[in-house]
């Protein structure tokens, strides 16, 4: 693997030197490809266009990110920003590369979570959009356009991850292929309308099962915190190593979102269908709400409290999008405008 890693470093160096003027663009792209964006950006946007597609996005995002965590624990992939120093191969000739605020993620590197979750989630979006376009226009060209954009997005996210030294090229390719397969498989098995007990059992089962896997691997002498140690050692700035990029943050986000999805479908008010204008208003209000929820500061010590609150934060996300905003804010406003005026009033 040394030859593969070495070639990946020189590729990252060349990419940085050739496209350094597009640094801001690559940082924006890597944020769009962040698994967190699937929950906070793609989910509400998709939900207010198609409810089933929105539920599918949340479901696929949670399962694909959880699987990515398991794969990373099994594959032990290095990350470029720490491998440069750990390998000892660049003593005489150091690569001219730079780290960025999004570089220093603490989980193992293979496969790329950004590429894998982006490929899985956006497959749900483009396949739904492509099918809708074909039904409306019967044009193969128009219905193929979303799939072209899908490929462009995957390539852009992959390049951004290589650019910031977060992943090697083969990790990005592996993540994209795996995510594409997961998107096709999981989008056909969306648990829409399932009872709350299903989501509660599934969420807690994933959480406990992953914790048992972690404990079992540790009993076998496998140190799963090795990547966190290396990230702290080789990151250029200590503040770039964030707890919300740790493997257990991904786990609690996924389990929280799944439980939240079950609660939202259980509590969701029924009996109304919002037209486009209230949907657009719901999307705007939901987006503002999720922005502020995401910015809520969480205590990093003790870590158990942080993970518990992180879990609760993502339980709240589906409640805001599916219940609170359309059910308690927008629908009453719409109903008040649709009531006939009382002719007895002067």
Q: Measured between alpha carbons, how far is 136 from 138 in angstroms, rounded to an integer?
A: 6
52 marked ligand binding residue: no
- 4 near 170, Cβ under 8 Å? yes
Query: Using alpha carbons only, what angle is made at residue 75 by residues 71 and 79, rounded to the nearest 5 degrees?
Result: 105
- Residue 284 C-alpha from the chain's centroid: 20
253 marked ligand binding residue: no
Is 114 tagged catalytic? yes
Write down the catalytic residue from 31, 98, 138, 167: 167
Q: Compute the Cα dihedral for 258, 262, 263, 269 and give only its sign.
A: positive
Give how far Cα 272 sits from Cα of 151, 153, 212, 215, 332, Å: 37, 35, 43, 47, 11
Write down the catalytic residue from 31, 114, 138, 341: 114
Two structure tokens written together for 67: 């699987």
Is 31 tagged catalytic? no
DSSP assignment of 187-243? TTS--TT--HHHHHHHHHHHHHHHHHHHHHHHHTT--TTHHHHHHHHH-SSGGG--G
What residues act catalytically? Answer: 114, 167
Annotated binding site: 79, 161
Annotated binding site for substrate: 79, 161
């Amino acid at each position: 693997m040394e030859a593969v890693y070495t070639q990946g470093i020189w590729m990252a160096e060349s990419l940085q030197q050739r496209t350094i003027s597009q640094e801001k663009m690559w940082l924006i792209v890597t944020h769009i490809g962040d698994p967190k964006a699937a929950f906070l950006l793609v989910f509400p946007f998709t939900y207010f266009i198609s409810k089933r597609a929105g539920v599918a996005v949340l479901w696929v995002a949670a399962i694909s990110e959880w699987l990515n965590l398991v794969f990373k624990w099994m594959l032990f992939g290095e990350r470029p920003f720490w491998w440069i120093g750990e390998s000892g191969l660049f003593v005489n000739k150091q690569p001219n590369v730079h780290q960025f605020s999004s570089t220093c993620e603490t989980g193992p590197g293979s496969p790329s979570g950004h590429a894998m979750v982006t490929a899985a989630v956006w497959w749900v979006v483009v396949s739904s959009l492509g099918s809708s376009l074909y039904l409306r226009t019967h044009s193969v060209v128009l219905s193929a356009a979303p799939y072209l954009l899908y490929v462009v997005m995957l390539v852009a996210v992959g390049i951004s991850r290589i650019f910031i030294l977060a992943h090697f090229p083969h990790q990005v390719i592996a993540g994209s292929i795996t995510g594409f397969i997961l998107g096709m498989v999981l989008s056909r098995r969306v648990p829409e309308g399932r009872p709350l007990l299903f989501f509660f059992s599934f969420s807690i089962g994933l959480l406990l099962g992953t914790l048992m896997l972690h404990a079992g691997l540790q009993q076998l002498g496998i140190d799963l915190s090795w990547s966190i140690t290396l990230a702290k050692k080789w990151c250029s700035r200590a503040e770039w190593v964030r707890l919300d990029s740790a493997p257990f943050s991904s786990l609690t986000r996924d389990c929280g979102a799944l439980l939240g999805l079950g609660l939202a479908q259980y509590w969701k008010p029924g009996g109304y269908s919002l037209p486009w204008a209230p949907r657009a208003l719901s999307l705007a209000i939901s987006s503002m709400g999720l922005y502020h929820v995401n910015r809520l500061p969480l205590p990093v010590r003790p870590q158990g409290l942080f993970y518990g609150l992180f879990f609760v934060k993502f339980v709240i996300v589906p409640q805001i999008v599916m219940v609170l905003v359309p059910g308690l804010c927008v629908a009453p406003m719409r109903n008040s405008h649709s009531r006939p005026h009382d002719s007895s009033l002067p």
